[in-house]
Structure 1
Amino acid sequence: MKNYAKLMMVSTVFAVSLNAQTTDQMVKSIMDETYQNSQLETLAYELMDGIGPRLVGSPKMQQAHDWAVKRFQNWGIEAQNEQWGEWKSWERGTSTIEMISPYVKSMEGMQLAWSPSTSAKGVTADVVMLPLFKSKEEFNAWLPTVKGKIVMVSQYQPSGRPDYNWKEFATPESYDKMKKESEEASEAWRNSLKATGETSKTLNEKVEKAGAAGIISSYWSKGFGVNKIFSAGTKKIPVFDMALEDYGQLYRMIQHGTTPKLKLVAQSKDKGTAPTFNTVATIKGSEKPNEYVILSAHLDSWDGGTGATDNGTGTITMMEVARVLKKYYPNPKRTIVIGLWGSEEQGLNGSRGYVSAHKDQMPNVQAVFNQDNGTGRIANISGQGFLNSYDYIGRWMSAVPKELKKDVETSFPGYPGGGGSDHASFIAAGAPAFMLSSLNWSYGNYTWHTNRDTYDKIVFDDVKSNVATIAILTYMASEDPEKASAERIKMPVNPRTGEPAKWPELKEPIRKGGFD
């Protein structure tokens, strides 16, 4: 018996040593491939510059799905597009804003998504500014005056300098004065909008019904030269977002008694209805094929820029992880799924569609790794409310080289994400899903949903570190002898209601959208 026990001990030690050697070799291979043979720049060029913005339902979105499938297949990875719904199909064309009076000037701006087009001659009209209102009655009395006019519907910004620029150079007194005046102006604007009974989303529809010829907004992102670009909210008249600088000039002209006249030309195309998809790629598991490690990123974007950091970087990261693993880990123990979701921007629709279509997978999910917040290296991982997440995330992170994880902060067990990105769709289904949050790189002001979210904002050194980290985590999660626990925390009491908070609710996607 003693000799048998010794033999078993030696065998166990040898197995552990062999496993450690195997892991070390895999980590080395992943690191070498990531940093010596990266395909990120090529993928980024093809997706951001070659295809461009990927608005749900648009021909560009379909082109991106087809490109991703072909890329996966070229690497020997099974991939297909899975339909989850359909959407209004709209294609951006050329658009221009010209001031033709009191003098001629080309103005910076762009047509908003799903905005109706104009004729080739465009729309020419005087410009009026939405005033401040004290009551709904005032608003209703004003509405008829917009007939035949181009209406400015955004708050005037007297300074186009970001807060950090003021803080760096202004005197303390000047900075405080600017902040006070800015806050007061914003409050007055909010109160006026509230008095109308409308919201920023419903206002355009009311102005359109009153007979306006067009609408100009300016959704400043509080950075030099940057605006948020969203949707139009009209059915017949064009809506443009205009740069703060030109919008401010028009406002000041009106304030000084000059009525500017604009010519708007928008050559977009309404292409009816299009099917909407997720691109799903699979590396089949060899030992536990019915357990899953899911790599998650959304492929769609708003279309002010080219969707580089939201979420082109997440997309190319997960594609590159898949390429590296297919090369050095072609027979994972668990099945690795790469999900590039559609219509995250309109409410996590693609990932919700996947969860709905693959309910049988959810109890067998080992982990979901999601990335969707810019170009920075991973800086934070939360346990998302899974009670034992510390144990298995800790095991997997132990294999990540120190230079990649030294600045990563973790919080366990954390609190479940109810929205914001696609990991929430899986959390609602009870699957252990984790957002790999990144360094900011001025994401909120300069690239998130803006007209400046383009290839040049990508920091490839940081994206490479994310590829290596996620590839190692995926390998470790796949190899782990244990199934990751999906046990949830006991939800805390909501101080407002006195009742326990609820785990995020499982929701179906919007199956048909863009027609409201």
Structure 2
Amino acid sequence: MKIRITSLVLCMLMGTILTAQRDNATVQALIKEATQNSQLESLAHQITDVLGPRLVGTPQMQAANDWAVKQYASWGIEARNEQWGEWRGWERGISHIDMLEPRVQSLRGTQLAWNPSTSKEGVTAEVITLPTIKNATEFKKWLPTVKGKIVLISKPQITGRPDYNWEEFATEKSFSKMKKQRDSLSNLWNDKIQRTGYTSRGLPEALENAGAVGIVTSNWSRGFGVNKIFSARTKEIPTVDLELEDYGMLYRLSESGNTPKINITAISKELGTVPTFNTIAEIKGTEKPEEYVILSAHFDSWDGGTGATDNGTGTLVMMEAMRVLKKIYPNPKRTILVGHWGSEEQGLNGSRAFVEDHPEIVAKVQASFNQDNGTGRVVRLNGGGFLRSYDYLNRWLNAVPKEITDEIETTFPGAPARGGSDYASFQAAGAPGFSLSSLSWSYWNYTWHTNRDTYDKIVFDDVRNNVILTAILTYMASEDPEFTSREQAVLPLDRRSGKQREWPTPRSPIRKGGLD
């Protein structure tokens, strides 16, 4: 009996060793393919340089969806565009902003998204600033003076140097003085806006209704030459964003009585109502095809730059991981599905629609891995509030090279997200979705929603690192004999209310955007 038991143990041990060797061989092959045959650079060129920014409702977004389907087909991966809604169709043209008086100079700026076109001649007018007034009644008396004028509505900055530059070169006294002055001016500006009786969001419409012929903003992102670029809030007149110093120059000229005059030529096209899509691709499972490992990244972007790090890099990670998996692991146990979501930037709309439209898939999600915060290597992984996530995530991470996992700080069980990116859509539905959170690389100041989010900011070594991590996690999740637990942790008390926090609930997407 003892001999038989020993033999059984030896057989089990040998089976474990052979399985580990086989698994290790697959892992090594995934790493080799991702490293030696990487297609990241060519994919990045196509996404950012050729397709360009991918604003929902634009022809560029539709072209990106169609391109992705063809690209997956070239790798032997089934893909489709799945409509989830409709959006205001709009196409950006040429923005040209020129100062004509007191001297001639071309200015650096751009039209904001979904803004109506000017004529080919554009709009030429004097530039004025907002007045310092006592209250809303006084502001209403001033409003008629904007007729025929272009109005500057953003606060001027006292420095275009980011704080880290001051910290490196300024004296402590000088740096402190600048910060106090900046805070004081910011408070004064906020008071000025409040006294108008409008919010910063409602002010453009009030100026437009009063007869202004243009609006100029400058949404500085606290970095050299970098601004956040979002959407316009006027319906018929141009709204443009100028880089900090050009805006500051106009502001100073107007305040000093030098009466600047500019021309705004901003050409765009209204395209009516257009369909919006998620691009979905999948590698069918062989043993448990009704269970899913989902790779997740939003495909859309704002259009101040070319959407390179938000979220071109997340898109690259998921596309390249799918390519690598198809080549090395073409017959997964579970179905591997990738979602390139639309309109994340306007409220996670694409992923929320997918979750709402496919409860049968969501109910069978083994895990979902989402990447959406820049070009950096993954350094944080949160258990998302799933009580047993420690068990299976650590099990999967053990197969990842140590030089990758040594960089990653894990938090278990963590807490579910209430927004931020598309993994929140899955978590709200109770499906184990996880954010592969990246090292900053000055993401928030320099590339997140900015005019500087371009190809040159991509750090390909870090993106390749994330491809390897994602491919191995996907492989391990697919092979895991157990279906992941969805047991939720007891959430902590809310510090503000003192009440127990509740798990977020699914939210419906906006399926008709910008059409009211």
Same fold (TM over 0.5): yes
2:379 aligned residue = 379
Q: Is the 8 A contact 1:132 1:189 kept in 2?
A: no
Letter of the structure 2 residue corresponding to residue 472 of structure 1: I
* Whole-Å separation in 2 of the counterparts to 1:205 and 1:253: 25
The 3-state SS of whatever aligns with 2:277 is strand
Q: What per-residue deviation string (whole Å, max 9, x for no partner) do you get for residues 297-324 of structure 1?
A: 0000000000000000000110000000
Separation in structure 2 between the aligned mates of residue 132 and residue 17 of structure 1, nearest angstrom:
77
Preserved CA contact (<8 Å) 2:313 2:374:
yes
> Hey, what's the Cα distance between the residues in 2 that align with 1:202 and 1:63?
34
Aligned to 1:69: 69
Q: 2:300·2:341 contact (CA, 8 Å) conserved in 1?
A: yes
Give the Cα–Cα distance (whole angstroms) in 1 for the partners of residues 73 and 234 of structure 2: 41
- On the 8 A contact 2:281/2:339 being kept in 1, the answer is yes
Distance in 1 of aligned mates of 2:399 and 2:207: 58
Q: Secondary structure at the match of 2:504?
A: coil
Q: Which one-letter code corresponds to 2:185 in the other structure? A: A
Instruction: Tell me the secondary structure at the aligned position of residue 424 of structure 1.
Output: helix
Deviations 1:114-144 (A, max 9, x none): 0111111110111111234442222222221
1:12 matched to 2:12? The reply is yes
Task: Report the equivalent of 2:441.
Answer: 441
Shift of 1:161: 0.6
Deviation at 1:194, TM superposition (A): 2.5
Aligned to 1:468: 468
- How far did 1:11 drift? 2.9
SS in 1 for 2:223: coil
TM-score by length of 2: 0.98
1:85-234 equivalent positions in 2, closer than 5 A? 85-234=85-234
Which residue pairs with 2:352 in the alignment? 352
Distance (Å, rounded) in 1 between the aligned partners of 2:50 and 2:245: 30
Distance in 1 of aligned mates of 2:8 and 2:355: 44
Residue of structure 1 equivalent to 2:304: 304
C-alpha displacement of 1:515 = 2.8
Deviation track 1:27-79 (CA, whole Å, cap 9, x = no partner) reads: 11111111110000000001100110000010000000000011111101110
User: Quick one: distance in 1 between partners of 2:127 and 2:324?
Assistant: 55
Residues 1:493 and 2:493 aligned together = yes
Structure 1 residue runs of 4 or more that deviate by more than 6 Å after TM superposition: none
Asked if 1:425 is matched to 2:425, the reply is yes
Using the TM superposition, give the Cα deviation of residue 26 of structure 1 relative to its aligned residue in structure 2, in angstroms. Answer: 1.0
State how far apart, in whole Å, the 2-side matches of 1:473 and 1:131 are: 57
Query: Which amino acid counterpart does residue 396 of structure 1 have in structure 2?
Result: W
Structure 1 residues 447 and 251: alpha-carbon distance in aligned structure 2, compared to 1, 3 A threshold? same
Task: Measure the CA separation in 1 of the matches of 2:211 and 2:3.
Answer: 94
Tell me the equivalent position of 1:328: 328
Cα gap change, 1:197/1:287 in structure 2, threshold over 3 Å: closer, same or farther? farther
Structure 1: distance between partners of 2:413 and 2:314: 24
Residues in 2 aligned to 1:396 and 1:470: alpha-carbon distance in whole angstroms: 11
Distance 1:165 1:30 in 2: 42
* Separation in structure 1 between the aligned mates of residue 11 and residue 210 of structure 2, nearest angstrom: 82
**1:399 — aligned with what?**
399
How far the C-alpha of 1:7 sits from its partner, in A, is 4.3
Letter in 2 for 1:127: V
Is 2:271 the partner of 1:281? no
> Aligned residue pairs: how many?
516
Q: Is the 8 A contact 2:129 2:255 kept in 1?
A: no
Tell me, in whole angstroms, the C-alpha distance in 2 between the residues paired with 1:215 and 1:361. Answer: 46
| Secondary structure in structure 1 of the residue aligned to 2:93 | coil
1:88 to partner: Cα distance: 0.4
Q: CA deviation at 1:496?
A: 2.1
Q: Contact conserved, 2:89 with 2:274, CA < 8 A, in 1?
A: yes
Question: What is aligned with 2:458?
Answer: 458
Distance, in Å, in 2 between the alignment partners of 1:333 and 1:262 is 63
Given residue 178 of structure 1, which amino acid in structure 2 is its aligned partner? M
Contact 2:93–2:267 (CA<8 Å) still a contact in 1?
yes
Q: Which runs of 5+ in 2 are unaligned?
A: none
Q: TM-score, normalised by structure 1?
A: 0.98
- Partner of 2:222, secondary structure, is coil
Partner Cα separation in structure 1 for residue 420 and residue 196 of structure 2: 29
Alignment partner, residue 25 of structure 2: 25
Contact 1:133/1:193, CA 8 A, preserved across alignment: no
Please identify, of 473-482 and 202-211, the stretch whose mean Cα deviation from structure 2 is larger: 202-211
Residues in 2 aligned to 1:287 and 1:3: alpha-carbon distance in whole angstroms: 35
The 2-side partners of 1:495 and 1:316 are apart by 39
- Structure 1 CA distance, aligned partners of 2:139 and 2:329? 64
Tell me the amino acid that sits aligned with residue 114 of structure 2: W
Cα distance in 2 for residues equivalent to 1:200 and 1:326: 49
CA distance in 2, matches of 1:505, 1:203: 34
Query: Does residue 291 in structure 1 map to residue 321 in structure 2?
Result: no
For 1:35, the aligned partner's letter is T
